[in-house]
Homo-oligomer: A and B are copies of this chain.
Amino acid sequence: MAESKQVFKKVVLAYSGGLDTSVIVRWLQETYNCEVVTFTADLGQGEEVEPARAKAEALGVKEIYIEDLREEFVRDFVFPMFRANAIYEGEYLLGTSIARPLIAKRLIDIANKTGADAISHGATGKGNDQVRFELGAYALKPGVHVIAPWREWDLNSRQKLLDYCEQHDIKVEKKKGKSPYSMDANLLHISYEGEVLEDPWAEAEEDMWRWSVAPEQAPDTPAELTLTYRKGDIVAIDGKEMAAHEVLEYLNKIGGAHGVGRIDIVENRYVGMKSRGCYETPGGTIMLRAHRAIESITLDREVAHLKDSLMPRYAETIYNGYWWSPERKAMQALIDDTQEPVNGDVRLKLYKGNVIVLGRRSDDSLFDEKVATFEDDAGAYDQKDAAGFIKLNALRLRIAASKGRKF
């Protein structure tokens, strides 16, 4: 490998504290004879990040960065994305995709601060995450080097990793109830891949899911809640103002308790293969439906349709790892321009997996009862206008038909 012949002085590693990235610390030190800086972020994955410090210290790491990025994550990444109603391939709410750009950004920030000449991550060579980390890193620091151990080494099984630990005196925690699945979690979602899921016909096992109860196990009594939007973002729940990450934490909790947000899909990865994944996105599932509801009364029709026509491209851009790109920035400019009037309240009911819209209202509502009514509208709308509207819209079809065209 061209890369492995290179010399690096200092490498910033996205470090979880788990087996894989602990091995990577040591492997980097040995392979490149370099200093390793660890970076561990709390993105709301639901595990303590502080324990990573002692583990990194035990591996001889001197510069250790541990950061709570939950608010930045939701405010600057999740919320802007939800303004677009982004869904990948009709189902996936981009929970993993949206966390990667922030990690890439912090890796580069820390590289700049510590004078590191490379970054490293624990993503495999088959997945999307390597692409997302690396595109972000290159976009933010074009001369940076990226070390992707999984593409270089031959430690390609759990047993080999454990052997490596033993040979290199790395302490391995024995977690009880360790999931056999390949998982990723942050405030937006938790994902599962691998194992039985590698057969798309096989049903996912109930004990795989971690964030939500099954609809069958959810309470018999629905929950109702009211979300308040300002410029397309949720700023309060049931009248209580909250920070962005508090909103998502709250919705995850209540959504998960009511069995909301599970999906089981086969998706198309950017690297060219199909893969089966299961996702729990309780808060995101609520937010998508609610955002559409508040937009339904506050957005102009053509603006809404324009957003819908651009959405698949926007979602694909994020899925493929191009958050830090001029095209994402340009699309965001359009999306954000539309959200100025997206203000108001959405009332929802959660019940055994269902997110049911009960009502929506807004001072910026474009819903006009006087015009829309089935009752007498006192002249707000002249029904006779419709005749001309239809006649001219039909004109091209009539001319074509009169000249013999068949449809």
* Interface positions of A (Cβ within 8 A of B): 1-3, 85, 89-91, 124-126, 130-131, 134-135, 138-143, 148, 150-151, 156-157, 182, 193-195, 198-203, 215-216, 220, 222, 262, 264-268, 271-276, 292-293, 296-297, 300-306, 308-310, 312-313, 316, 322, 324-331, 333-334, 336-338, 341, 345, 347, 351-354, 356-361, 364-369, 371-376, 381-403, 405, 407
* Docked-complex contact A391 and B401, CB < 8 angstroms: no
Q: CB-CB < 8 A to A322: which residues of B? A: 302
Known: A274-B368, A352-B354. A382 touches B2 (CB 8 A): yes
* Docked-complex contact A182 and B396, CB < 8 angstroms: no
5 cross-chain pairs, A with B, having the tightest CB-CB distances, nearest first: A388-B388, A125-B383, A272-B395, A268-B301, A385-B388
Known: A266-B297, A331-B306. A273 touches B396 (CB 8 A): yes
Closest CB in chain B relative to A375 CB, distance in Å = 8
Closest CB in chain B relative to A45 CB, distance in Å = 20
A396 to B386, CA, bound (A): 14
A265 to B304, CA, bound (A): 14
Most chain B CB within 10 A, of A134, A273, A329, is at A273
Q: CB-CB < 8 A to A345: which residues of B? A: 201
Closest CB in chain B relative to A326 CB, distance in Å = 5
* Docked-complex contact A313 and B306, CB < 8 angstroms: yes
Q: CB-CB < 8 A to A303: which residues of B? A: 326-327, 330
* Docked-complex contact B292 and A138, CB < 8 angstroms: no
Known: A327-B303, A367-B276, A383-B126. A393 touches B131 (CB 8 A): yes
With contacts A125-B386, A273-B399, A275-B372 known, what are 7 further pairs, Cβ within 8 A? A89-B304, A138-B394, A151-B387, A300-B325, A326-B338, A385-B388, A389-B392
* Docked-complex contact B305 and A312, CB < 8 angstroms: yes
Known: A131-B386, A398-B142. A325 touches B407 (CB 8 A): yes
Which residue of chain B lies nearest to A377 when distances are taken between CB atoms in the complex? B126
* Docked-complex contact A366 and B90, CB < 8 angstroms: no
